[in-house]
Structure 1
Amino acid sequence: MANGTARGAALELHDLGKSYGGLKVLEGVNLNVVPGEFVTFLGPSGSGKTTTLNLIAGFAAPDAGGRMQLDGRSLAEVPAHKRDIGVVFQNYALFPHMTVRENIAFPLKQRRPRPDAATIARRVDQALSLVHLEAYGDRRPDQLSGGQQQRVALARAVVFEPKLLLLDEPLGALDKRLRESLQLELRRIHRELGVTIIFVTHDQDEALTLSDRIVVFREGAVEQVGTPAELYNNPGSEFVATFLGDSNTFAGTLKDGQFTLDQADARFASLPGTPDGPIKIMVRPENVTVCDDAGEAANAVRVTVDDVVFSGATLRVEGIDAKGSQLIARTRTDGPLPKIGDAMWFCWDASTTRIVATGGAA
């Protein structure tokens, strides 16, 4: 296992939907996942990401017309307990009366045909090594930290060498430092095993850190799919722009390529090639510079500094514009620091402006 004997499966979802008591909670989900890909389902609570995961795992059945295939085989033909899928939950779900080794061995002992004792012992040893818990095999779950319990749950999910691994907010109950540490471990394990991973989270930073691609869910449907860089730098909607990281959004009108706001002390570069009408544009805080004088900046908005937050290498500056909207700049800390109440300009280059909505946006 540690030498990469497990290999990922291709997963295809076609027009998945799910209703409960007449209430539609998921509709029209389509997705192709290539073998060995790390795909994250991201969205707010109730957006449909965990429902989709449950359908893949076999914990629920899709509505009529929805299809799922694993390596070309319909999952409708395979009972949940026979799908070549490992699952890790947020609450670990370890057996408290079993040792770590017994917990990890459990899925192997349930398989038919059941591996022999020597094979089970070897695979358990490999799984313990994979999660760096070789010295903890004889302990029980209540003798482990939260992070160690999560590693045991992960080892139990991969010990039978599944082709697909489903992770349902597995790091959500951990503190920030431990969560970041286990994110690195997940990346390492993914590289070593080559298994296909579907990871559910509502944590945007986690999704950006771990994923090959991100599927953004909204109100039971897929809003956008792309690499972390694609979604962050070129969001396809205002929802994606605001959900995936901080953003500054401006609603105005476009005429002959010129964006205008009903607001004093603001100017914007032209946006050629976009139809006239209501429009929303966005710029990320790290692309905004805090200036005493707007000078020749292509885009500039006058603000009153409302808060200044020092975070080591960067400074988060919050400003209020003439319309009372809050704007954010994230800048370096090696220059003069603005103070609350200062009148400043937020400036940015035209190349960093993104259009996130047109037609009725204003």
Structure 2
Amino acid sequence: GINIPSCGRRVGYLFQDYALFPHLSVAENVGFAMKRGFPWRLSKEDRHRVEEFLEIFEISHLAASLPLDLSGGQKQRVALARALIRKPDILLLDEPFSALDTLLRAKLRTELADIRARFNVPVVMITHDPEDISAFAETLVTYETGRVCRVEPFSRAGGTGGVHTFGISAKEPGLHQLGQDHIGQQHSSKQ
């Protein structure tokens, strides 16, 4: 049906600002997704799953830490673990690297490709960053004034792949610098 309550939707979502709960520990933030916002009511199996995800995302040493004490990359890992712990059918990423410095972006792009392959989940990523497009896109969806104006396969030499759809707003900063003509050139030159 179309009227599925949010808790019943099988969608993982990584917010641009990560949307971690400042008063909850890292483990509680990850566990939050499992019991409709009651991480302290987790069963033994659920607690074990949270611990497993903390290990997968290399943040188990931060389990008791609060978001205030985390770096940008650590916050992203916590948010990604929370988004994936319920085994979503699709993962939505909203500007996942925008708050990170250039070196950390490159590292986390590689990690995201590995995570996507490990969990075998389709990804929809919203981005204005041409490097994200080049690294991940399989299909490029270009938006202008809230409407889809172009959908096309995106080919590139190399890259990690795995992202099925990209949304880009032609009216947002970033794409103006790149220009739609450049996207077309980039697409055709990498085939």
Confirm whether residue 200 of structure 1 aligns to residue 140 of structure 2. Answer: no
Structure number with higher strand proportion = 1
Confirm whether residue 144 of structure 1 aligns to residue 84 of structure 2. Answer: no
Confirm whether residue 241 of structure 1 aligns to residue 181 of structure 2. Answer: yes
Confirm whether residue 118 of structure 1 aligns to residue 58 of structure 2. Answer: no
- Equivalence map 1:52-131=2 (5 Å): 74=1, 76-110=2-36, 117-131=43-57
SS at match of 1:110: coil
Distance change >3 Å, CA 171–CA 111, structure 1 → 2: same
Runs of 4+ in 1 over 6 A off after TM superposition: none
Offset, 1:213: 2.0
Amino acid paired to 2:83: A
Offset, 1:202: 0.8
Amino acid paired to 1:141: P
The whole-number CA distance in structure 2 between the counterparts of 1:94 and 1:208 is 28
Q: Which residue of 2 aligns with 1:134?
A: 60
1:157 to 73, 83, 89: 83
Distance change >3 Å, CA 222–CA 142, structure 1 → 2: same
2:140 to 191, 209, 214: 214
Distance change >3 Å, CA 128–CA 206, structure 1 → 2: same
The whole-number CA distance in structure 2 between the counterparts of 1:204 and 1:109 is 37
**TM score, norm. by length of structure 1:** 0.42
Amino acid paired to 2:31: A
The whole-number CA distance in structure 2 between the counterparts of 1:186 and 1:245 is 25
Distance change >3 Å, CA 167–CA 220, structure 1 → 2: same
Distance change >3 Å, CA 150–CA 111, structure 1 → 2: closer
The whole-number CA distance in structure 1 between the counterparts of 2:124 and 2:118 is 16
Offset, 1:218: 2.2
Please provide the CA RMSD for this pair. Answer: 2.7
Distance change >3 Å, CA 149–CA 245, structure 1 → 2: farther
Offset, 1:135: 1.6
Q: Deviations over 1:265-309 (max 9, x none)?
A: xxxxxxxxxxxxxxxxxx96x9xxxxxxxxxxxxxxxxxxxxxxx
The structure number with the bigger radius of gyration is: 1
Amino acid paired to 1:240: Q
Distance change >3 Å, CA 219–CA 199, structure 1 → 2: same
Amino acid paired to 1:170: P
The whole-number CA distance in structure 1 between the counterparts of 2:34 and 2:42 is 10
Distance change >3 Å, CA 222–CA 175, structure 1 → 2: same
* Residues 223 and 240, structure 1, Cα contact 8 Å, conserved in 2: no
Report % sequence identity. 35
Amino acid paired to 2:24: M
Q: Which residue of 2 aligns with 1:22?
A: none
Q: State how many pairs are aligned.
A: 167
